[in-house]
Homo-oligomer: A and B are copies of this chain.
Amino acid sequence: MFSKACKYAIRALIYLASRSEEPEKTGLREIAAEIDSPEAFTAKIMQILSKQNLVNSAKGPHGGFFIDTHAPEIKLIDVVKAIDGTQSIYGCGLGLKSCSETEPCPIHHEFSAIRNGLANLLKEQTIQQLARELKAGKSVLKHHLN
């Protein structure tokens, strides 16, 4: 569905959002540890998110990443587009270059409903919503050992 990079990105953003009322910034090390992702690779992903203004960053001591609490909430689709691109969501299910309503691939119509459902979900759901559920203990970002 999503690339690994995209999964890390979503997890990282949810974690960041889950502690974004804290005025403190969160360092890369902590993020990677909390979402159980490779640190250096996560750094690359954070760079992309930062360039796309999905996240803010500050260098130096007490620096780190943070989400602007005054900015509009981040939609999942923004993250997916930033990391995986639009083709991953809107491309043909069977990989045909020219697949459309008028020249559909064999599964085009059957998959449209699903694809649209997914797209709508990604457009509706925000990182912050998911972060609130995480904080409420309704979900987890990594395996919790008993």
Contact = CB atoms under 8 A, between A and B. Distances in A.
Interface of A: 1-2, 4, 7-8, 10-11, 14, 76, 93-98, 103-108, 110-111, 113-114, 117-118, 121, 125, 130-131, 133-134, 138-144
A105 B1 contact: no
Contacts of A113: 117
Given A114-B114, A117-B113, A117-B114, A140 B4 contact: no
**Copies of the polypeptide in the assembly:** 2
A62 to B, nearest CB: 28
Contacts of A97: 143
Given A111-B121, A114-B121, A117-B113, A105 B140 contact: yes
